[in-house]
Structure 1
Amino acid sequence: MNIIERDPSDPRRKPMNPGLKFLLELGPGLVFFFTTIRGEWLAEKFPVLSHLGEPILIATAFFMVATALSLSASWLLTRSLPLMPLVSAIVVFVFGALALYLQDKTFAFMKPTIINSLFGVTLLGGLLFGRSLLGYVFDSAFQLDAEGWRKLTFRWGLFFLFLAVLNEVVWRNFSEATWLYFKVWGTIPITLAFTFSQMPLIMRHSLEDKPGKEEKAGK
């Protein structure tokens, strides 16, 4: 049994509903946001949480739990773990544990930088070895030919690096509250806008719209 999700071209790969997959990946981030906002209230209602530290550290603990639950749900539904959320979870657990142990919220601020940098470098590095790894993320949503995956992977690799730089600029130059709101209500719209901007490329290289293209790609 494969623990990590199979290659997108593997017929044994069990697909997941794109909407559900998006919800499982977005959920932990929303938990972090709302727990940070209500951190002081939670500490008052449940005094044991005050031992974790200030609200952002309480939210970090909740984020780690939500991430673990998200991966567990993916495992129950597909009997495999999605690659990029798994990598993200490892970073979350390592940096979250450091933040809680050292009582240093800097680790929480830098987590998006580390994750986005890792994703960007991984996607661009995969292209150097002839692998379009973005297929692991989006294959449930659409099917592209090899050239389409290469171009889309390159663009997303650069976009992840852009998000990493943007996170550094925001947390180092603005207030904690500004960073928190930007992390959810800024990053998500920017990501959605970038995703929609790639639709012309996706349509040009879609195998679903051009079935004959799939046969050419296999030759």
Structure 2
Amino acid sequence: MADMSDTTQNEAAKTVPEKKPNTLLRAVIEYGPIIAFFIGYMIVRDNTFTLFGREFDGIVVVTMFFVPLQTISTWLIYKLTGRISGIQIATVVLVVIMGGITIWLNDERFIKMKPTILYVFFFVVLVFGLLQGKSYLKAVMDHTVPMEHEGWMKLTWRVAFFFGALAVANEAVWRLMSTDAWVNFKTFGLPLAIFAFFMTQSGLFSKYGTSNEEDDAPNA
């Protein structure tokens, strides 16, 4: 009965089309918090602030504003599109947790570790699914990039190891380089790396892409 109920709910969810907000508006909402973080940091990076009887460096103060901005951004995306992905949920949860620890302990290392933890989490989840013969990436992206099951499995392996590489890169940057370098890496380096990675997968999309959302995936 539980399986039948889950199937019915999944089919019902598929009948609800995703809302299509203005592309520019969505981009502003999605990338607004990280751009605001960068601008805010560049303005106050050399300053310290006394709040609640404690002194905070600029990056910690900027984190105080970044956490609610990221939360609001995720909520707005949900309101605009009618859906929210597991990636977005994991991201905002980690921002709240790691940002909160950064502020509470007045220690910028925790917000710097956030991308590492996020990418390691994605790596573990994707590999766990792959070892079961499933692509959790498909559940997130299938509505925008329909492909055959084999294509999803290959792409998921690549994405998993790519996330692992990003985690290593983030660790190297924040541990070995300056805070300025890490902020630039987070603001520009990580998004550009992700964009470049998916651009290099165009051959796989062409080979395994389908004209509809049906693919050759076996029934779970």
- Normalising by structure 1, we get a TM-score of 0.81
The 3 A distance-change label for structure 1 pair 128 and 204 is same
RMSD over aligned Cα atoms = 3.2
CA gap of 1:66–1:156, structure 2 versus 1, over 3 A, is same
Counterpart contact for 1:57–1:103, Cα < 8 Å = yes
| Counterpart position of 1:3 | none
CA 24–117 in structure 1, closer or farther in 2 if over 3 Å, else same: farther
2:167 matched to 1:164? yes
Q: 1:165 to 1:216 in 2, by over 3 A?
A: closer
Unaligned runs of 5+ in 2: 1-8
Mean CA deviation greater in 186-195 or 21-30: 21-30
Task: Tell me if 1:107 matches 2:72.
Answer: no
1:32 pairs with one of 32, 37, 45: 37
TM-score when normalising by structure 2 = 0.81
Q: Tell me: CA distance 1:175–1:100, structure 2 relative to 1, closer, same or farther (3 Å).
A: same
Give distance in 2, aligned partners of 1:106 and 1:120.
22
AA partner of residue 39 (structure 1): V
Match of 1:199 in 2: 202
- Counterpart-to-counterpart distance in 1, 2:134 and 2:26: 22
Change (3 A) 1:170 1:42: closer
Alignment equivalent of 1:119, drawn from 103, 117, 122: 122
Distance 1:8 1:74 in 2: 23
Report if the CA contact (8 A) 1:7-1:13 is conserved: no
One-letter amino acid of the counterpart of residue 189, structure 1: L
Indicate the SS of the match to 1:53.
strand
**Structure 1 residues 167 and 193, CA, compared in 2 at 3 Å: closer, same or farther?**
same
User: Could you tell me whether the CA contact under 8 Å between 2:174 and 2:182 is conserved in 1?
Assistant: yes
SS at match of 2:136: coil
Unaligned runs of 5+ in 1: 1-5
- Identity within the alignment, %: 30
1:157 aligned partner, one-letter code? A
Match 2:141 to one of 132, 138, 149: 138
